[in-house]
Amino acid sequence: MMIYLLRHGIAEQKGLSDAARELSREGVMQTRAMAEKFKLYEPQVDKAFMSPFQRARQTASILRVVFPSLRFDVERALEPEADVYALFEKLETYNVQNLLLVSHNPLLSKLLSIMLDATLETARPFEPSHLYCIEMDFVAPGCGTLKYVLQP
């Protein structure tokens, strides 16, 4: 299974609720740049999910401009403070070869650490508008192989 993890772009810091925060102008530009780089890899995506939060939805919309056939389902398990272990267990149930997840920190940093290191102790950094491509022959902690990282 190939799993693409994408963190939303830089968000506005205004007084909106966390769920309603939108991408900043810089976040939009960086996400567009990353999407164009991702297109060069000619990724095959069988299924795509996004957090219901506004900035994840905006990130998914930017990806759809570059990949018009890409469709996203909303997944509450991708919210920033969701249970990373529950999400990890859910990965197998998607039953696809190529999966794209658009989400937030701290969830993505935790998920990346579990996939690659089998622990949360490594606390791998995950910056805005970065995409990690992880290959997993089977979904189990520490069984992921980092194929590449894209940044704006």
CA distance 138 to 152: 30
Q: Which two tokens stand for residue 141?
A: 């902690």
What value does the mean pLDDT of the chain take?
95
Degrees (nearest 5) of the Cα angle 106, 111, 60?
Answer: 75
pLDDT > 90 in the chain, percent: 93
pLDDT of residue 14: 76
pLDDT of residue 150: 97
CA distance 23 to 94: 28
Distances from the Cα of 137 to the Cαs of 57, 142, 151, in angstroms? 29, 11, 25
CA distance 63 to 117: 29
Helix (H), strand (E) at residue 123 = none
Q: Which two tokens stand for residue 75?
A: 């997944």
Domain that holds residue 133: 2-9+18-150
Could you report the per-residue pLDDT of 94-121, keeping only the tens digit for each?
Answer: 889 999 999 999 999 999 999 999 999 9
Q: How many domains does the chain have?
A: 1
Q: Which residues contact 58 (CB under 8 A, 6 or more apart)?
A: 8, 9, 22, 23, 28, 31
Which CATH number do you get for residue 40?
A: 3.40.50.1240
pLDDT tier at 13 (50, 70, 90 boundaries)? confident
The mean pLDDT value for 80-95 works out to 93
Question: Residue 15 pLDDT > 80, yes or no?
Answer: no
